[in-house]
Structure 1
Amino acid sequence: MSASLLLVAVVAVVLAALCRRYGLSAPLILVVIGLGIGWIPGTPEVTLEPELVLFLILPPLLYSAAQESSYQAIRANRRAIGLLAIGLPLFSTVIVGLVAYATVPHLPLAAALVLGAVVAPPDAVSAQAIGRRVGLPRRIMTLLGGESLLNDATALTAFRVALAAAVGATASVWEGLSTFAIAAVGGLVIGLAVGFAVSWLRLWLTDPPMETAIGLVVPFGTYYVAEEIHASGVIAVVVAGLFLGQRSVRLGYATRLQDDAVRKSIDALLESFVFLLIGLQLPFLIRGLAGESWVQIAIDAAVVLAATILARFLWVYPATYLPRALSSKIRRREERPTPRAVFIVGWAGMRGVVSLAAAFAIPLTTDDGGPFPARAEILFLTFVVVVGTLLLQGTTLGWMIRRLGIGADDAAKDRLAYASAQDRASRESERRLDELAAELPENDPRRHQVAMLRKWVTTQRNVGWEELGRGPEDIGESPTAAGNRMRMDLLQIQRKVFIEERDDGHIDDEVLRTALRRLDFAEGQMDREVD
């Protein structure tokens, strides 16, 4: 199995790299290719293991998404995110469960609610990966990101309660509520404790490689500890990630650069692996349905998929407009969302690997020793919902955004905000340079350094104002861009000379690496200025 998973990871990364190179949607392409690969004769069977997803894949992806999220934005939208992350999974569990109970033959109500809980949460991987590609506006991305960070805890708790009822254990509504409350509070406490401890440790170390290494193990350790004491590992990881993401500004620049590069590489690997793994499950699931009526299965799949998609709309519109209708404070504080924007939130409910992991975690037997009712059908229906939402909603989301005119104007707002903040930062810097110049004698050679720094500060201010009035259609080269291009040419020349000096035996590799590191940092700074 380990060799098969390694092969899946290698193939997934290669395919994802090709998709990115040619501007294709990697998540969707990987799912489709996985569906095809699974039917090739002789292909090793790769069955999704729940522990693999819940303990090794989900924590780092949630942690990364939390670190990249804005705590201020989530706090400002906490009501909307709470309705999506807590209310919607419970509503979807009930609606999909009742529809499945009425449609799927021989499916008890408790088992139908298990299916509803399994397909309830839109996946963090799907929402972030596809949302970034299609260019969703920032507020919508904040809502979807905040929802996907927290709804797994709600859905998995509902799954545990429904599963307990399905296998014959006692489970009441109050027990379910108490389970969720304990899990949420425990996850919050553990997440904050880990955040404080890791933040202090990383600041105390001041060692970029070790700081990044500690950051790599944080999501796994946090999730494991929380789950061991029956708290929510999802909430613990998300809280720790949000806390440490806010505190990352206190770290050294080398640690931040290193963390960002490592995190993005891990995300690319895991996301590619997950989407290919989803597609590879189809042959295994179909074999589990041997002897069933495919006409009935097709009807069941279509009905459950439609119920899953429609349940989101049935919740999103009232949850958006009813609080505004009932509260004048909300009307004064928040801009009224357009029906088109609400539709995009409803349409962006792609499911992912967490749903499949929960479905595979359903036991084979109940407490009385009998087989779990319709387990094979539940697994197949979950697969249909996951792949159906990815392919149907994922492939049309970009078209929907363009068709409805939900264009993101975040770039223009960002340029204005950056230019204003940079102007203030430059004025403060110039004030400090005036103080330094006043302390130096008239002929002091250090005045030359002050003059150079003054030019650098002026250039920083000019970058913001030059880009403020430039849009995607502006292809002319600004003065700052021309200066950066010339600096880049000089860096390439210096890099070439250092390499030639090493090749000629005038310097050794250690000196070359030191020189290249300094040039790389200078080039990276210019890249960030351009971005």
Structure 2
Amino acid sequence: MPSCYLISYPTVSPLLAGPLLTVDAAELGLQAESSIAAYVSSGIVLLLVATAVALLSRRLGVPYVTGLVLAGLAITDFLPQSIGLDSSLILNLFLPILLFEAAINTDISRLRSTVKPIVLLAGPGVLVAAGVTATILRFGLRLDWIPALLLGTILAITDTVSVIAVFKEITVPSRLITIVEGESLFNDGVALVLFNLILLSHLTGSVSFPEGLQQMVVVIAGGTLVGLALGYLSAGLLARSDDNLSSILLTVALALGAYQVGHWLEVSGVVAVVVAGLMVGNVGLSRRVSASNRVTLYSFWEYAGFGVNTFIFLLVGLELKAVAFWQTLPAVLLAVLAYQVGRLLAVYPLLALVRRVDRPVPLRWQHVLFLGNIKGSLSMALALSLPLTISGRSNLIAIVFGTVLFSLVVQGLSLPWIVKRMRLGVASPARQQTETLRAQLIAAKAAQDELESMLRTGVLPKSIYEEMRSMYQVQVARAERALRDLYDRWAVEVTTGQRDPAGLDAIRKRLLLVEKGALSEALRRGIVSETGAKERLQQIDEKILLLEED
């Protein structure tokens, strides 16, 4: 018999066996209960700390996520139960929730208008940043190529939560927000696929460039198909459901399930979640879904994303050790320099190419995209998931953790000040007034549409419907009259040389995109010939390129 099965048991009287086992089980139960109670107490402490950070960050002007990390560093020794950052928890639970929340709130038409810079940054941009970072670290820290490439890929991931948090407090152009959000949606997926390919090369010995490229395409395309299929099925179910709670459960199951199905089929679960979220947000939550159901879903996912980010960055602070940071400071500073050089060579040259095929991305926007290269929880999760066979694994983890701490504190605190100094979103009084009136008009029109639906379904009697509709009609008339006056003033200002003071270029572009979509659909169905539509499509493209969105 093998030695591993040779287990000796003490001789116990049959009369004592039952009571002894009962006592042992009771002790185990008490230990488990005390452990759960300690975790609950730690969770309560974290919630209270997060609330205090939220209040103080607004008053002090500190980014919320940076405040959370600093708070986590400060309270590590005061928690009743040690809580660690688990890579499996982040990758399988937190990451799908964050990706789905971002995707469900993303308008595909906005993505389509900025698809070229987004694709360049999230595709070749990740490869360039990872390659440059890995090369610098390979020779600067004298690492082997596999650890250097893994470290470069981990540091090529940009945590966009901090940047978006800054944008929520400072007015910036909507197109810049779209580029940042769009890159964040697909940046993680490409980086994770590249990370897994490097690990595969480590395990198998070698993977050629054509094989790696083929696997990357297959994994991303497979994840897209999984997301489309699951998103389409869920969109149909949402359109048939009027129960808010059931819709919430369905979207949660979709977010977590799409990631697991993608992982089970050995394709990109991240891409599957993103595509499924885009399908639900742009197809599932259409006008066929009641307004109350849409509001409930959006509110739930906003809270879910906020809650997950809160716990992630608190856990990041709990996991980071200030003492270890100072011990690895030279390597951390080199890593910071390396990923900044990689990001620089990814942003400026690639976005310079956009000028030839699309509207140019202004240089000040490129500065924000470069300086907003902040690292976060996903980088730490990938570092913790490194296999034990990687040489110098503990040193790599320490470097990543120190880099994340430096990035969140130094870059996170300086980014709001830099964005304010650039004065990216200084809107004219006419533009601000126009946006306010548009918001009033959109809200009143949406309420009128809902009243029409309530009258048609018998929820409201006609007398009450007419009374409430007339109230909203007064708001609509006032907003339309004020907008008309502003547009008349805008027409005069344009003749004096001012460019789009009332912000109509975004509306013109949206209408042109609708025209282009209708022509493309007509071509697909064979209603018009290619020669008949080609000239008009070219005219639309030229007009779109001439327009400058706000």
Whether these two folds match at TM > 0.5 is yes
User: Which among 64, 77, 100 is matched to residue 114 of structure 2?
Assistant: 77
Q: Equivalences for 1:334-345 in 2 at 5 Å?
A: 334=359, 336-345=360-369
Deviations 1:112-149 (A, max 9, x none): 01100111111243343344344443222211111111
- Aligned to 1:251, the other structure's residue is in SS state coil
The answer to whether the aligner puts 1:214 opposite 2:214 as a matched pair is no
Q: Equivalences for 1:232-247 in 2 at 5 Å?
A: 232-247=268-283
- Aligned to 1:236, the other structure's residue is in SS state helix
Aligned equivalents of 1:302, 1:446: Cα separation in 2: 70
Aligned length: 436
CA separation of 1:129 and 1:188: change in aligned 2, threshold 3 A: same
Deviations 1:470-518 (A, max 9, x none): 9xxxxxxxxxxxxxxxxxxxxxxxxxxxxxxxxxxxxxxxxxxxxxxxx
Conserved 8 A contact 2:320-2:405: no
Q: Equivalences for 1:482-497 in 2 at 5 Å?
A: none
The answer to whether the aligner puts 1:19 opposite 2:37 as a matched pair is no
CA separation of 1:429 and 1:129: change in aligned 2, threshold 3 A: closer
Conserved 8 A contact 1:222-1:237: yes
> Residue 70 of structure 2 corresponds to which residue in structure 1?
32
Structure 1 unaligned runs (5+)? 366-371, 437-444, 471-531
CA offset at residue 347 of structure 1?
Answer: 0.8
Conserved 8 A contact 2:219-2:268: yes
Q: Equivalences for 1:315-326 in 2 at 5 Å?
A: 315-324=346-355
Q: Give the aligned residue type for 1:52.
A: L
> Residue 253 of structure 1 corresponds to which residue in structure 2?
291
> Residue 180 of structure 2 corresponds to which residue in structure 1?
144
Q: Equivalences for 1:408-423 in 2 at 5 Å?
A: 409=427, 414-415=435-436, 417-418=438-439
> Residue 224 of structure 1 corresponds to which residue in structure 2?
260
TM-score by length of 1: 0.74
The answer to whether the aligner puts 1:65 opposite 2:113 as a matched pair is no
> Residue 523 of structure 1 corresponds to which residue in structure 2?
none
Conserved 8 A contact 1:426-1:458: no
Q: Give the aligned residue type for 1:240.
A: A
Q: Give the aligned residue type for 1:239.
A: V
> Residue 5 of structure 2 corresponds to which residue in structure 1?
none
> Residue 364 of structure 1 corresponds to which residue in structure 2?
388
> Residue 112 of structure 1 corresponds to which residue in structure 2?
148
Q: Give the aligned residue type for 1:461.
A: A
TM-score by length of 2: 0.72
Deviations 1:336-380 (A, max 9, x none): 433222101111111111111111110112xxxxxx211111111
Deviations 1:287-306 (A, max 9, x none): xx9xxxx77x3221101111
Aligned equivalents of 1:148, 1:322: Cα separation in 2: 20
CA separation of 1:184 and 1:450: change in aligned 2, threshold 3 A: same
User: Which among 324, 341, 348 is matched to residue 310 of structure 1?
Assistant: 341
> Residue 349 of structure 1 corresponds to which residue in structure 2?
373
CA separation of 1:142 and 1:55: change in aligned 2, threshold 3 A: same
> Residue 475 of structure 2 corresponds to which residue in structure 1?
459
Aligned equivalents of 1:162, 1:449: Cα separation in 2: 63
Conserved 8 A contact 2:111-2:178: yes
Aligned equivalents of 1:323, 1:459: Cα separation in 2: 43
CA separation of 1:210 and 1:123: change in aligned 2, threshold 3 A: same
Aligned equivalents of 1:465, 1:273: Cα separation in 2: 47
Aligned equivalents of 2:127, 2:333: Cα separation in 1: 21
CA separation of 1:73 and 1:165: change in aligned 2, threshold 3 A: same
> Residue 299 of structure 1 corresponds to which residue in structure 2?
330
Conserved 8 A contact 2:437-2:482: no
Deviations 1:232-279 (A, max 9, x none): 111111111111111313311221122122212212211110001111
Conserved 8 A contact 2:66-2:412: yes
**Equivalent pairs: percent with the same residue?**
26
Conserved 8 A contact 1:212-1:255: no
Q: Equivalences for 1:436-447 in 2 at 5 Å?
A: none
Deviations 1:66-122 (A, max 9, x none): 1111211111111100111111211111111111111214x2111101100111111
After superposition, the CA RMSD in angstroms is 3.2
- Aligned to 2:333, the other structure's residue is in SS state helix
> Residue 186 of structure 1 corresponds to which residue in structure 2?
222
Deviations 1:201-224 (A, max 9, x none): 122232222112212221001110
CA offset at residue 418 of structure 1?
Answer: 4.6
Structure 2 unaligned runs (5+)? 1-34, 487-550
> Residue 510 of structure 1 corresponds to which residue in structure 2?
none
The answer to whether the aligner puts 1:88 opposite 2:87 as a matched pair is no
